Amino acid sequence: MSYCLNPVCPSPENLANTERCQACGASLLLRDRYRVLHALGQGGFGATFLAKDESLPGQPYCVIKQLRPTTTAPHVMQMARDLFEREAQTLGRIGNHPQIPRLLDYFEANQEFYLVQEYISGSTLQQEIKRSGAFSEAGVKQFLSEILPIMQYVHSHQVIHRDLKPANLIRRSQDCKLVLIDFGAVKNQVNSVSAASLSDQTALTAYAIGTPGFAPPEQMAMRPVYASDLYALGVTCIYLLTAKSPKDLDYDPATGELLWQKQVHLSEHFAGVLKKMLEVSVRHRFQSANEILRALDLEPYLDSLANSMNSVSTRSTLTKRDPDSQPSSPAARAAMAIRARNQRSESTNLQTGVARNRVMAARPTTRDSGGRTGSNSNTSGNKTQAAPKLDSATLVSLYGKGKRDFASHDLSLLAIPKINLSGAVFHQSNLKQINLQGANLFNADFGKASLQRANLRDTNLAQAYLSNADLEGADLRGANLTQAYLLNANLRNANLCGANLTGAKLTAEQLAMAKTNWLTVRPNGKRGIL
């Protein structure tokens, strides 16, 4: 279908490949290259459309945002032009991030303004909640571990999003990663409708942009700061936990605070994190995405910190600790450990794989007598002891509390089918004969892990890191290994029948050692015997 962008067209839908609109005669090929297919969203101030670029090979899809002021009054046109240019400049400045749509084009025609952006295929978090229901606490923590680095990147470029909400977060179909959209928030009429009556729609004035209920007081008072986005992120977390819009929640009339605590059952620590994200006073709110990441990183270590169980790197030549070299109180020791972790992880916070790097950096370290560094071990003098064996219930509980680091653990023979362990770290762990059938292991780290004869049938191992892993005899039938890193992994007698290896990194020699059939999808995306 071809869709007419003439705002007064009585019948904008036309047959595919039509040159001119059958109803109004307007050209259906915008700028001689973009053919609009259908509307994606509509508001009083503009609309978005799905289109394809017929000037490029393959005619790729794109999104066209049309800023369409409801009046041609000079001050409104100037505001539209300012918003248009600001969004184009913003996307041009930050659009190189893999989880932010790229700006492809922008132009003005017939007193209407057009932005052309990368098309993101997938569902918004709002659609996801309506389809599948509320998230668990672990699910929201996983959400935060992905969205906070994006916010950190955005804020590092001196940009305040100002309209962060579930409808502006798309889970990309291609890799299940979240993508933050809509850096213009120009969807509704200017100064024509009060904020209270807009419900879930976006309010717009010359300076105040945001969705009532998600935007904090200072933003609606036209004084947004970086922490304003963090408040909106906190409200988004409550929405994910309750499946309720903020307008459906009660609030304290004396303070304006949302009354959400009775709607959810959360760990005390995570409830405290959310409470600080949702502080009405900017002064008492988290000031940066990194502060929230640090608060979430601390949770898996609270018990050990309280019991003074921190592992600290020491010189092998030291036989006696100076009593003045370490703080005496558990709180002081906790602060020291957090500062040390943050310094190690600071340089990687804005790179791909930030959640994994952050967890790896938070791992306690020790040194053996040769000065080599090890992880996840208890120390006695200079001797290193292996981490204890975990049972299924403990593993599930720790992951649910936010722990992601299970490196060097013994998980052999566990039966945990269909479990969600996405993003977890199992570096050098023993997972022999583990049953993970149907599990979600997306983006997990199995580097140098032993997975001999493991049941990984129908598991999601997309983007998993399996370098130097031992997968001899493992059952990987029907597994999703798209974009997995398998170089140097032992695939001798591994069963890859029906597995999807599209984009996976491995050699032909490795594949020759495994069992495959005509249903196996090769790294080049084609089916057949390898």
- Cα 115 from Cα 159, distance rounded (Å): 18
Q: Which of the 8 DSSP states describes residue 77? A: H
Question: Is the distance from CB of 87 to CB of 183 less than 8 angstroms?
Answer: yes
374 forms beta bridges with 366
Nearest to 288, CA basis, from 346, 204, 212 = 346
Asked if residue 142 lies in contact with residue 422, where contact means CB atoms within 8 angstroms, the answer is: yes
Residue type, 485: Y
Q: How many CA atoms lie within 13 A of 299 on its CB side?
A: 23
Distance separating alpha carbons of residues 256 and 218, to the nearest angstrom: 12
Q: Are 35 and 52 in contact (CB under 8 A)?
A: yes
Could you tell me the end-to-end alpha-carbon distance of the chain, in angstroms, rounded to an integer? 41
Q: How far apart are CA 221 and CA 236, in angstroms?
A: 20
* Distance between CA atoms of residues 458 and 260, nearest Å: 38
Could you give the CA distance from residue 136 to residue 264 in angstroms, rounded to a whole number?
Answer: 9
> At a CB cut-off of 8 Å and minimum separation 6, what does 394 contact?
none
Catalytic residue among 53, 82, 163, 248: 163
Dump the DSSP string for 92-112.
HHHTTSTTSPPEEEEEEETTE
Q: Is 165 annotated as a binding residue?
A: no
Q: Which two tokens stand for residue 137?
A: 């606490």
Instruction: Report whether 433 contacts 456 (CB < 8 A).
Output: no
Has 163 been annotated as catalytic? yes
3-state secondary structure of 188: coil
CA gap 373, 351 in Å, rounded: 24
Q: State the Cα–Cα distance between residues 146 and 422, nearest whole angstrom.
A: 12
Tokens 């389809």 locate to 131
Q: Give the angle subtended at the CA of 285 by the CAs of 281 and 287, to the nearest 5°.
A: 125
Q: Cα angle at 458 between 455 and 459, to 5 degrees?
A: 75
Cα–Cα dist 186/203, whole Å: 9
Residue 414 CB contacts under 8 Å (≥ 6 apart), including other chains: 390, 391, 392, 395, 431, 434, 435
The H or E element containing residue 304 is helix 302-306
Residue 181 one-letter amino acid? I
Any idea which residues carry the catalytic annotation? Answer: 163
Residue numbers in the known binding site are: 65
Residue numbers in the known binding site for ATP are: 65
